[in-house]
Amino acid sequence: MPVPTRPLDLVPHRRYNPLLRQWILVSPQRTQRPWQGETSKPAAGKGLAYDPACYLCPGNERSGGARNPAYTGVFAFDNDFPALLSDEPPASEPNPSPLLVAEPERGRCRVLCFHPNHSLTLARMDAAAISAVVDAWAGETAALGGLPYINHVQIFENRGAMMGASNPHPHCQIWATEHVPDEPLRELEAQREYSDKHHRCLLCDYLATEIAQAERMVAENGHFVAVVPYWATWPFETLVLPRRHLGSFTDFSAAERSGFAAILKAVTTRYDNLFAVSFPYSLGFHQRPTDGQAHGSMHFHAHFYPPLLRSAEVRKFMVGFEMFGSPQRDLTPETAAERLRALPQKHYLD
Ligand code: H2U
Ligand code: ZN
């Protein structure tokens, strides 16, 4: 066990998340008991490259009746069961009470397959294949963001059955909406207020602090840095930041797209190696709204929210105090980062 060097490593305290403007309770004294070690067994095998029953594999029929082409790289299509529709909404009805508020919401939902191989994941795809996915994220952002009724493009990957992914085939979803959803809106407002007050970018300043302190660093390259944020909620949560003040996928240079692919591989490989399992997570990107305004204070970033706590089976639940009070964690972000950093960069299945 590393010897705690600061008082806060030993005692309950709360940390402030300046992006969401909320507190998180940290209870490190609960982890002072010795680490019992990993109990789960490594998941065996690399899986099938093609699954005839998969609705995302090349050439297969989807449940909506359409057939996928025999794609060889990335493949995007309109979600057959979209949460939002692009149709012009009917004239809105007046709300019956100021406490019963509804309004129409338009949007487009897409599904993006990362690779034709059914059993690959970002961690096990090669750098060129991941770069092709990053290019597709930029292309989808530009195309959907350019639609007249779209003001925000939310890209996310639910990885693993534990996170509710309906299919192991490597894919993500893209929900482009008329309104900026609440979570990115909160972050956007926090960044705008910080920059109005300090005349600097919140996440540029945060990145400089993390680079100087180094203790929450997980991986880095010439263009991107991945840290367990000081205010992380999930045990092994990470935040991936570009070194340059970029607002959107559409701002990335070719070198930054490759750099982003490389850091995604570095983070996901360490995740898989932590418990020798295909690590579940929700991955999402926060980028500038596409409403035509400048949003100069917005600093692009990726959040990995993984649920696992102690092994492939033991997850963190956001219940009890977290539902009624505020988020809470035992493992400090510094210890989580140290454990991720110490893992080999080579995937356990390779
Ligand atoms: P998830 O694994 O994150 O649920 O994403 C899969 C998406 O694929 C889901 O939104 C869509 C579902 O609506 N889908 C299709 O568009 N066509 C199909 O044939 C099945 C699933
Ligand atoms: Zn498949």
63 lines ligand 1 (CB under 6 A): yes
Q: Which ligand is nearest to the CA of 71?
A: 2
The catalytically annotated residue of 118, 152, 169, 171 is 171
81: Cβ below 6 Å to ligand 1? yes
Per-residue tens of pLDDT for the chain, all 350 residues = 454 556 778 899 999 999 999 999 999 988 765 544 444 555 556 789 999 999 999 999 999 899 999 999 999 999 999 999 998 877 778 889 999 999 999 999 999 999 999 999 999 999 999 999 999 999 999 999 999 999 999 999 999 999 988 899 999 999 999 999 999 999 999 999 999 999 999 999 999 999 999 999 999 999 999 999 999 999 999 999 999 999 999 999 999 999 999 999 999 999 999 999 999 999 999 999 999 999 999 999 999 999 999 999 999 999 999 999 999 999 999 999 999 999 999 999 99
Ligand 1 pocket mutation, candidates 68, 108, 169, 173, criterion most atoms within 8 A of CB: 173
**Does 347 qualify as catalytic in the annotation?**
no
Ligand 1 pocket residue status of 80, Cβ below 6 Å: yes
C-alpha distance across the termini of the chain, in Å: 30
Q: Ligand 1 atom closest to Cα of 79?
A: 16
| Angle at 299 (CA atoms; ends 298, 300), nearest 5 degrees | 115
Closest residue CA from atom 17 of ligand 1: 80
Query: Would you say the CB of residue 71 lies under 6 angstroms from ligand 1?
Result: no
CA 79 – ligand 2 centroid, Å: 16
Long-range contacts of 332-335 (CB under 8 A, 24+ apart): 332/9, 332/26, 332/28, 332/31, 333/216, 333/228, 333/229, 333/230, 333/231, 333/232, 333/237, 334/9, 334/215, 334/216, 334/228, 335/2, 335/28, 335/31
**Closest-approaching ligand to the CA atom of 175:** 1
pLDDT at 169 (0 to 100): 97
Nearest ligand (C-alpha, residue 174): 1
Q: In DSSP terms, which residues pair with 154 in a beta bridge? A: 175
Q: Which atom of ligand 1 is nearest to the CA of 63?
A: 19
d(CA 137, CA 155): 8
253 lines ligand 1 (CB under 6 A): no
CB 66 near ligand 1, within 6 Å: no
Q: Is 83 in the pocket of ligand 1 (CB under 6 A)?
A: no
